[in-house]
Structure 1
Amino acid sequence: MEQTIQKRLPVDGGSWVTVDVYGEPDAPGLVVVPGAMSDAHGWRHVAAAVDAWPSVTVVNRRGRTPSGPLTSTYSLQTEVEDLGVVLNEFKGTRALFGWSYGGLIALLAANDRPLHHVIAYEPVTRPFGSHALPDLQAAEETADWDATIEIVNRQIAGLDTAHVEALRADRQGWAALRHLSRPAHAELAALNAAPPSDELARRADRVDLIIGQCNDGAAPYGTSFDDVRKRVPRAEVHVLPGQGHMAHIQAPTELGHLINDLATVR
């Protein structure tokens, strides 16, 4: 499926979000919500692999170009309300998919409004990465985005030095990560400041949760996934073989095909 249009939608606080639409712009389909250190562009290959719906709309959340700023009142609820604006624009959305922080946003959105189908890949919930907040705040105050990337990958994701240096060796990719890292502290702080919900996706007709095989039962993503799973007891759980948290980059076609498979009505 090819990208057909990009739309800009005004949201609260004078900010805005853009969405990239693949396929038929006026046909109800799948809405995708990326998480932290990611943007709509990073999900283009997954969107291209999805064909179970006539359209795929990928949200470029506030805080990343070409969407607007987070604003001073930013919170997790801000994200849920922004997603509500997108869903109001694309009425009749058949399914909502979220990854990581975006997965939590999607599940919370299904507490506020009825949704037919919600899919979340390794959604995270508090407490998650709170130990890294002081270092992320210090990096943000000095605009040290190189340090922010290292903190996210080393202190939160638990990756080793060799992995970070491999990322740094890709100059174009590292430059993109520098831009994507700017909202990292605010997003992690918002995630950990929000009171946990006892139940998630309570107004969804159907919920599917996905975990990468490499993270099943392992900290930090697998253990946070287990916390979320307890709050969605009726969800079906699916494992993506051979993958971890970054499946949208490392195996976008496989992830897209799994999402296609989940479109089948049970």
Structure 2
Amino acid sequence: MERTIQKKLSVGGDGWVTVDVYGEPDTPGLVVVPGVMSDAHTWRHVAGAIDAWPSVAVVNRRGRAPSGPLTSPYSLRTEVEDLGVVLDEFAGTRALFGWSYGGLITLLAANERPVRQVIAYEPVMRPFGRHALPDLKTAAETADWDRCVEIVNRQISGFSAAHVDDLRADPHSWALLRRLSGPLYAELGALNATPPPDVMARQADQVDLIIGQCNRGTVPYGTSFDHVWQHVAHAKVHELPGQGHLAHIEAPAELGRLLDNLAAV
């Protein structure tokens, strides 16, 4: 489906978030919450591949233009409250889908309000990437965004130096990653500062957790996924063949089809 409108919503204080809406903007559908190093634009191909819902609303979380900057103080509570504003705007939302840090946000939001369905792709939770916080703090304080991109890929995701070199070889992609790394330290800090509740998605009628086949049982995403799973007792687990954490970039059509297949009847 095609993007039809972009909405700007006021959130706490002087903050605001934008939401890219695909399909029928006045018909309740799926709300998508991206994670770190990601924005609404990077999810456009997945949104375009989805057919099971009449609309797909992709949240551009704060810290990503054209949404407003991160505010101080900033926490996971901030993100959950922002998502609450989005859900109030898109009343009757049928399902929530979150990726990585966004997956954690959706699971926490479903503790506070009834949600028909929550789908989360490799959600992460504390402790995750905590060892990289000192280096990220230094890089953020000196606005060394190249270093931030290197840290998230090498120290957190565990990719090779050759992988980072390949990313750097594409000036457009590298510039995007530099821009998206701006809120990274604050987001990872917020993730690790928040003790997880014993139960998540308590008010969701249905919870579906997705893991990429390549990350099953591996550090860091597979092990964090297993940790989250322990806190969502009623979740069903699904595997996306041949994929890792970046399925929205490397296999958006396949991810879109899986989401269609998981749509609650």
TM-score using structure 1 length: 0.99
Deviating above 4 A after TM superposition, structure 1's stretches of 4 or more consecutive aligned residues are none
> Within 5 Å, which residues of 2 pair with 1:119-198?
119-198=119-198
Supply the distance in 2 between the matched residues of 1:72 and 1:13 (Cα, whole angstroms).
Answer: 10
Residue by residue over 1:72-100, the C-alpha shift from the partner in whole angstroms, topping out at 9 and shown as x without a partner, is 11100000000000000000000000000
Q: Is the 8 A contact 2:99 2:120 kept in 1?
A: yes
Report the Cα distance in structure 1 between the residues aligned to 2:102 and 2:35, rounded to whole angstroms: 4
Question: Aligned partners of 1:122 and 1:72: how far apart in 2?
Answer: 28
Aligned equivalents of 1:110, 1:33: Cα separation in 2: 13
**How far apart, in 2, do the equivalents of 1:92 and 1:196 lie?**
27
Once the two structures are superposed, residues 97-135 of structure 1 have per-residue CA deviations (whole angstroms, 9 ceiling, x without a partner) of: 000000000000000100000000000000000000000
**Amino acid of the structure 2 residue aligned with 1:107:** L
Aligned to 2:95: 95
1:232-247 to structure 2, matched below 5 A, reads 232-247=232-247
Partner AA of 2:150 in structure 1:
E
* Aligned residue identity for 1:160: S
* Superposed displacement of residue 13, structure 1: 2.2
* Equivalent position amino acid for 1:84 in 2: G
1:176-255 → structure 2 map (5 Å cutoff): 176-255=176-255
User: What residue ranges of structure 1 are gaps of 5+ in the alignment?
Assistant: none
Cα distance in 1 for partners of 2:196, 2:236 equals 21
Q: CA deviation at 1:196?
A: 1.1
What are the Cα deviations for residues 9-43 of structure 1, in whole angstroms up to 9, with x where unaligned?
A: 00002110000000000000000000000000000
Letter paired with 2:200:
L
Structure 1 letter corresponding to 2:113: R
Partner of 2:13: 13
Deviations 1:169-224 (A, max 9, x none): 01000001111000000000000001111100000000000000000000000000
**In the alignment, what sits opposite 2:55?**
55
- The one-letter amino acid of 2:21's match is V
C-alpha deviations, 1:135-178, integer Å up to 9, x for none?
A: 00000000000000000000000001000000000100000111
**Aligned partner of 2:140: which letter?**
E
Question: Partners of 1:165 and 1:197 in 2: how far apart?
Answer: 39
Give the Å deviation of 1:233.
1.2
> What TM-score do the two structures reach when normalised by structure 2?
0.99
Residue identity matched to 2:66? P
Distance across 1 between alignment mates of 2:208 and 2:77: 22
Report the RMSD for the aligned CA atoms in angstroms: 0.5
Alignment partners' CA distance in 2, 1:13 and 1:197: 26
Match of 1:2 in 2: 2
Q: Distance in 2 between matches of 1:224 and 1:75?
A: 20
User: SS of the counterpart of 2:20?
Assistant: strand
Q: What pairs up with 1:24-39 in 2 under 5 angstroms? A: 24-39=24-39
Percentage of pairs with the same residue: 74
Amino acid at match of 2:9: L
Alignment-derived partner of residue 257 in structure 1: 257
Letter of the 1:113 counterpart: R
Contact preservation (8 Å) 2:117, 2:264: no
